[in-house]
């Protein structure tokens, strides 16, 4: 059942879990979220307002204390670089903080990882290989190097990190 898109096709099951308390972004948050990504335009040059709006409409954007975290679950297996991610797992589409180092991003990711674990899912994230700060941050949560990925016709090197699911599927509907 873990990989069944019928049960894991969206973040709603995680977002509505008992005790999960991170705010979902709303349309009124779009400009503030864009300000965060503009601050880090060297890392996130591809983040566009239209993309953020689409993710908000799909309930994939967490927004709290100046931290934006975009998450999704795969409805079906997804090709990612030279790898295929299974249906149902959680994938980060970006995390950024207006004030890095204040602990707010750590707290949000800790809550998300706890929910991902409860549901027995794996967590995937990619980033530029040159973004050592982000690599180190995700490794604090047990993410390990899984493979390489390239963007812009191979001119930008990236890395895929994975955190294996450790929870029990039986907790998913509790």
Residue 45 is predicted with a pLDDT of 85
One digit per residue, pLDDT tens: the chain, 174 residues?
Answer: 233 233 333 455 555 555 556 788 999 999 999 999 999 988 888 899 999 999 999 889 999 999 999 998 888 898 888 888 888 889 999 999 999 999 999 999 998 898 888 888 899 999 999 999 999 999 999 999 999 999 889 899 999 999 987 654 433 333
- Listed by start position, the domains of the chain span 5-171
Residue 22 is predicted with a pLDDT of 76
Q: Which residues of 6-20 are buried (b: 16+ CB within 10 A; e: fewer)?
A: ebbbebebbbebeee
Separation CA 168–CA 13 (nearest Å): 15
Separation CA 9–CA 144 (nearest Å): 24
The pTM of the full predicted model, rounded to 2 decimals, is 0.82
User: How far is residue 100 from each of residues 67, 95, 133, measured CA to CA in Å?
Assistant: 9, 11, 10
The third-level CATH classification (topology) of the domain covering 5-171 is Aminopeptidase (3.40.630)
Residue 75 is predicted with a pLDDT of 82
What's the chain's Rg over C-alpha atoms? Answer: 15
Residue 19 is predicted with a pLDDT of 55
């Amino acid at each position: 059942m873990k990989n069944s898109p019928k049960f894991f096709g969206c973040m709603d099951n995680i977002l509505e879990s008992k005790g999960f308390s991170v705010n979902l972004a709303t349309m009124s948050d779009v400009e503030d979220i864009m300000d965060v990504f503009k601050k880090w335009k060297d890392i996130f040059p591809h983040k566009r307002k239209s993309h953020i709006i689409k993710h908000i409409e799909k309930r994939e954007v967490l927004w709290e204390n100046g931290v934006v975290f975009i998450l999704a679950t795969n409805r079906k297996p997804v090709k990612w670089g030279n790898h295929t991610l299974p249906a149902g797992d959680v994938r980060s589409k970006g995390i950024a903080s207006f004030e890095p180092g204040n602990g707010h991003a750590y707290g949000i990711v800790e809550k998300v990882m706890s929910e991902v674990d409860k549901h027995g899912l794996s967590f995937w994230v990619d980033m530029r290989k040159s973004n050592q700060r982000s690599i180190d941050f995700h490794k604090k949560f047990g993410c390990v190097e899984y493979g390489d990925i390239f963007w812009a016709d191979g001119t930008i090197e990236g890395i895929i990190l994975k955190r294996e699911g450790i929870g029990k599927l039986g907790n998913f509907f509790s």
